Amino acid sequence: MSKINEMSILGVRSFGIEDKDKQVISFFTPVTVLVGPNGAGKTTIIECLKFATSGELPPGSKGGAFVHDPKDAQRTVVRAQIELSLSDIKGEEIEIQRFMSCSLIENKYSFKSEEQNIKRAKDGRRVSRSVKCGDLHQEITCALGVSKSVLNDVIFCHQEESNWPLSEDRVLKEKFDSIFNVTKYNKARAKMYELRLKQSRTVERCQAELSYLEKNKEKAQQLRDNVAQKQADLRASRDLILHIENQIDPLETLLSNIKMKLENVTKLENEIKALDSLRKQMEEHNKELEETMEEVFQGSDEQLQHTYENHQRTVREKEQKLQQHQEELQTFDQEYQRLTRVTNDLLVEKGRLQHEAERHTKNTEDRDKLVHSLSSCLEMEGYDQLPFTVSQLESFYHQVTQRLEQEKERVSQLLVRNLQKLEQQKQQSVDEMRDRKTCTERTVEMKRDEQQKKQQELKNITEELQRLQDSSSRLQELENKLAEREDAVQSSSVEELKAEVKKLQSEKVELDCTQRQLDEDMETLNMHTAALTQMDILKKGKMEEQILQIRSRHCEDLVSLMGHFPNKKELEDWISSKSKEISSTGDRLTKLKMDLASNEQNKSHITAELLKKEQQLATDEEKFLNVCSSRDLEQNLSNLQRDLDEIFKTKALLAGTKVVYTQFISELSEHREPCCPVCRRSFPSESEVQEVVRVLQSKLHLVPEKLKITEQDLERTERRREEIVALRPVRYSAIVQFQENELPALRKRLQTVDREAERLKGDVEEQEALLAILRSEEEKAKDCLQGISLMDSYLVERKIDEQAAKLQEVNLDNTFQQLSQEKQETQDQLDTTYSTIVGKHKQIQDQQEQIQRLKSAAIEMRDEQLQLIRDKQKQENLEELSAEITARMEALTTEIREGNEELRPLSAALEKLQQEKQKLVEQKKQREEEEQKKDYLTTTVSIYLNVDCNHVDLLFFYTICLPMLQDKESEYQAATTQLQEAERNKERISTEMGNIQQDKDTQKVKERCLWDNLTLRKRVNELKNMAAKREALEEKLKRRTVKSAPASATAAVSHLRCKQLEEDQYGKAEELHRNKMIEMRTTQLLSKDLKLYEEALDQAIVKFHSMKMDEINQNIRDLWRSTYRGQDIEYIEIRSEVEERSEGRRSYNYRVVMMKGDADVNMRGRCSAGQKVLASLIIRLALAEAFCLDCGILALDEPTTNLDRENIKSLADALVEIIRTRSQQRHFQLLIITHDEDFVQLLVRSGCIQHFYRISKNQDQNSEITKHSTAFLSV
């Protein structure tokens, strides 16, 4: 059995990204326990196991959330690594390495799965190799002995997906189908079914070829017999030739003449045979044409031609009339649509006006209510009964207007008298005194406010002046920086940036010269020579080490891509060419995909057309077979014709029988001595005569009924014959045309399209593979570009250092401190220059981003510069304003002091006047009453205005809207009438067009009949001409007939037949027939075996599914009864229901049920959260028991979630029992992750756990894994 040994984690989720942060965990047997608080990183361990084995990322981490956050690490790229050591089912150790990275670019995360390695032991040493993700997944699942679905959904099931057994039906079915590998089994059955169909088609093809080969075989045998006979004749002829060989000389001349005549005779015979064949073919065509013709024209050829031309003229007239009717129908249809739009518009307008009418009806009621309310309020009589007439409303408006005028005048007089009295008595003095005091106080207050504002303004001006004095230096600095930014923006292109780099390098050379000069000066100081030399050596060694590291890291990739190690310029050119190649490949791939889509669409169209033709052919054949009992139409017609002749004879016989019997009865009744009407013998007695008459009368009575039956049979038979005759064109035109021409052509087109589709699919796959390779190479080269750029910078720095080592002369007048200071300044400038050079190189790569950044900075600096210029101008203005404010503040102080002295006498006088004002209280009450009257008057006016507005709206409706509504109703009725008339015209035209079309179809049938008559006449004339020509040739042949020995002709025929036998068609006829027969029989046996295999596989799948479900449900019942402590559920199980589909396929639907007594209830949606967790856990344990035969690994993530203490204890007991049962298996591994230390204590008491791991966060908030003894847990 397989097991996991050890795993190391670096850079995943909360685990650190440095090498010192790598965490290693070893997995014990039979159980490994991980304990830690929430958020410590426990679930990350299962996620890492799942990703390492199956390559599946945790839920919701597709965008890079699985890797340590680059923001948290303060890096743009974070790389993660997972190493897993495991033993496969054979016990061999395997080590898996998975690398991934997460990049943060423009606040967007980008996840990338990088190198995947696998290490195995080979020949006593470990061999590592890099593999693709798909190959790695396949290899790991084979090594562990379980499928990918079992790994994801059973063994390493994520906590967020652990309750999948109680998910919705569709998800549950997908999970179980994946676990049972239903898709693979279905594919196998479908492949078998496809092979069986292919073999069946092969058998049909072989049978068709066999019939052809059988004929070839028989033909070959006939040829052999003929050859043998001719060879015997040839031998006899040779004997005859030997006999007459002496007489050949005098007969040579005669023989040459005979040969010439024989050639002429042969030529004439061939012409006669050709004419006979053509005549026979034309007679057959004429016979077929006569059979298909419903009526044979009896007139002359000229009459037939005239009739045909008249008929064509009639058909053209019908077509013209039909075209006219179509144009009329189109005109009526347009008129109908126009009238429909007009009717809809009128209907909408009518609805709007009706709504307006309803609204105005409501306004009328509201107006009457307002009138009634206002009349009651004003105590006006005659307005108690609603509704009101027009005269009542006019009277009401007149009375209310008069009342309003009277009230306004009375209240106005009263208010004027009171206000004049109050102003005359007291208020004038108070107001004047208050105004004087208020004016003085306001003046003083305004001056104080102004004084405070001036003080604050002076303070602000002082602070602003202080700030502006500091900004003068900032302005000069900004001008310099702005010039630099503008120069940088102007030189933002690559060439300008390179020129600037060259300029900076020139400055750097000058600085290097200065640096060399300083170094030469300092070399004279012996105490520093050794230290300086040692520093240069160390610096150079470090740089060489960096260059070698970069070169070794990228050398293999670059050499494999380009064949050599390039410089930066070559690599950039190569990447540019590769990008163009990728673009062109993408364009080709897009074009191929478009062609493939067009091909698929064409295939769908052809398939639909073929299906339609086949359905039409089946319909025609069904119709044909419904009328005709067999496929031989001519035989049916001849049988019906024979039946018709018999029925005609019977009818004529019955008619004659009636006449004869009537005559016989008349003769026997009228004569006194009657005799037999047939034999003329006399009757012995009268009674015999009466008996004969009675018999004849009884038969005569039966004749009408028999005649009626015969006529019915005749009518039925004639009708059947007409139906079959009508089907003759269908049989010979539609069905034959479909079978012989259209269907084979469509099938051939479909085969061509299929071949083209296969070719296009191959091209698409080839281009996709090429595109993937090109993109991989481009990505690999881009990864190397940064290292090459860095190496170039190191090389430049190395050259700088080499140049610095050549410094020689020194100014001995400088002291050591001066030289050090100058050297430091020069070094700072060198660093600045070097940083600028590096920045410029970076600007070449990120040009657009740098341009935008420079422009933004320049704009900000320009804005700040303008602000500083404005501040400088403002500083001068503020200095002048400060002097003005100081003078103004001194004047305000004097004015405030004078104002305070004036306020004292004004305050005493105002206090006296306010005491007198108390006498006006009673007058205030009287004024309030007047105000109330004023409010009453205002309310009355408001109601009156509302009544007046409603009245105006109503007048508008009755004068404008109501007539408009009536007009719209009239227009709507007229439009409806026109619409109905247009619809009747459309129906009339459509009926006439139908009649014309029907008449036209009838005329086409008649036209076909006339055309067939013309064709028949033409062929008959051709036959006559051909017969005359044949007679002439026969007469010519008779004149040239010669007698000669047929030896030479016989020999020629024999030679030709021998040559024919030598051809593959007949020479290998038996061999081909035998091989084809063997192929057909073996293919039949193969098809039969495939059917047996398919049935056996189907039965095996059903049996396997049934056995596994029984095993799973048994394990579920045992685990549930031993774990669950509740009494409401006896046990749970998984129910699988079979759904039969087309072609014998089966589909299984699953559901989890809980047994309560005798009832089974769906558990989904009807159980508690704890029951849900426990059921899901038990189902996973049962699935692991059933499907993990070669893998004893199972991970449980937080199994105690939502469980009470009693069920937690029972779960612990059940797990302990499982551990004790499976502990005999040395590869059994149970991985338990929990935060519940009480649950761990329950497991510890069982004695099966000696150590456990604790997951925690360190001071850097990175996850750490530490191993502890269970004794530590007890403490």
My answer on whether omega of the bond before 729 falls inside 30° of 0, hence cis, is no
The DSSP secondary-structure symbol of 151 reads: I
Average pLDDT, the chain: 73
Return the number of other C-beta atoms located less than 10 Å from residue 383's C-beta.
20
Confidence of residue 721 (pLDDT cuts 50, 70, 90): confident
Q: What is the pLDDT of residue 1169?
A: 83
Q: What is the pLDDT of residue 1060?
A: 47
CA distance 1149 to 87: 36
CA angle 1137, 1140, 1144 (to 5 degrees): 140
Q: What is the pLDDT of residue 956?
A: 46
Q: Is residue 967 part of a domain?
A: no
Q: What is the pLDDT of residue 88?
A: 85
Whose structure tokens read 């062929």?
1019
What is the mean pLDDT of the segment spanning 420-437? Answer: 62
Greatest distance between any 2 Cα atoms in the chain: 189
CA distance 951 to 393: 9
Confidence of residue 814 (pLDDT cuts 50, 70, 90): very low
CA distance 955 to 944: 16
25 close to 6: Cβ distance less than 8 angstroms: yes
The SS3 of residue 124 is coil
DSSP string over 741-798 = IIHHHHHHHHHHHHHHHHHHHHHHHHHHHHHHHHHHHHHHHHHHHHHHHHHHHHHHHH
Burial of 618 (0-12, 13-18, 19+ CB in 10 A): exposed
Q: What is the CATH number of the domain that holds 151?
A: 3.40.50.300
- The 10s digit of each residue's pLDDT in 32-56 is 999 999 888 899 999 999 988 888 8
The SS3 of residue 563 is coil
Q: What is the pLDDT of residue 928?
A: 54
Residues 6+ apart with CB under 8 A from 456: none
Range from 288-302, 581-595, 762-776 carrying the lowest mean pLDDT = 288-302
The SS3 of residue 289 is helix
Range from 405-409, 605-609, 667-671 carrying the lowest mean pLDDT = 405-409
768, 790, 812: which is the final residue of a domain?
790
Q: Is residue 66 part of a domain?
A: yes
Q: Is residue 617 part of a domain?
A: yes
Q: What is the pLDDT of residue 182?
A: 74
707 close to 655: Cβ distance less than 8 angstroms: yes
Residues forming beta bridges with residue 9, ordered by sequence position: 23, 82
790, 812, 838: which is the final residue of a domain?
790
> Which position has the higher pLDDT, 1256 or 293?
1256
Confidence of residue 524 (pLDDT cuts 50, 70, 90): low
1164 close to 205: Cβ distance less than 8 angstroms: no
CA angle 1268, 1271, 1275 (to 5 degrees): 105
Q: Is residue 498 part of a domain?
A: no
Q: The domain containing residue 13 runs over which residues?
A: 3-162+1192-1274
Please say if the pLDDT value at position 30 is more than 90.
Answer: no
**Three state DSSP letters for 175-203:** HHHHHCCHHHHHHHHHHHHHHHHHHHHHH
CA angle 354, 356, 360 (to 5 degrees): 115
102 is in an annotated binding site: no
Please say if the pLDDT value at position 1209 is more than 60.
Answer: yes
Return the number of other C-beta atoms located less than 10 Å from residue 1010's C-beta.
21
Q: Is residue 889 part of a domain?
A: no
Please say if the pLDDT value at position 942 is more than 90.
Answer: no
Structural domains in the chain (count): 2
The SS3 of residue 1003 is helix
Distances (CA, A) of 976 to 154, 329, 513, 1186: 73, 19, 104, 78
Q: Is residue 1087 part of a domain?
A: no
Q: How many residues does the chain have?
A: 1275
Residue 1126 tokens read as 């509740």
pTM of the model: 0.38
Considering 214-228, 544-558, 1162-1176, the range whose residues carry the highest mean pLDDT is 1162-1176
Helices (H) and strands (E) in the chain, counts: 28, 14
Q: What is the pLDDT of residue 1265?
A: 92
- The 10s digit of each residue's pLDDT in 65-108 is 889 888 888 888 899 999 999 888 888 888 999 998 998 887 88
CA angle 103, 104, 108 (to 5 degrees): 115
CA distance 775 to 543: 33
> Which position has the higher pLDDT, 577 or 827?
577
> Which position has the higher pLDDT, 1154 or 468?
1154
88 close to 143: Cβ distance less than 8 angstroms: yes
Residue 508 tokens read as 């750097």
Please say if the pLDDT value at position 1124 is more than 70.
Answer: yes
> Which position has the higher pLDDT, 1191 or 590?
1191
What is the mean pLDDT of the segment spanning 883-912? Answer: 73
The SS3 of residue 168 is coil
> Which position has the higher pLDDT, 136 or 910?
136
Confidence of residue 851 (pLDDT cuts 50, 70, 90): low
Return the number of other C-beta atoms located less than 10 Å from residue 941's C-beta.
14
Range from 297-311, 369-383, 993-1007, 1032-1046 carrying the lowest mean pLDDT = 1032-1046
Q: Is residue 437 part of a domain?
A: no
Q: What is the pLDDT of residue 525?
A: 55
Q: Is residue 1269 part of a domain?
A: yes
737, 768, 790: which is the final residue of a domain?
790
CA distance 401 to 406: 9
Angle subtended by helix axes 1169-1187 and 1205-1222, to nearest 10: 10
679 is in an annotated binding site: yes
Q: State phi, psi for 1252 to the nearest 5 degrees.
A: -150, 165
Q: What is the pLDDT of residue 24?
A: 93
Angle subtended by helix axes 428-490 and 847-916, to nearest 10: 170
> Which position has the higher pLDDT, 1234 or 194?
1234
Range from 957-971, 1087-1101, 1221-1235 carrying the lowest mean pLDDT = 957-971
Confidence of residue 879 (pLDDT cuts 50, 70, 90): confident
Return the number of other C-beta atoms located less than 10 Å from residue 1038's C-beta.
9
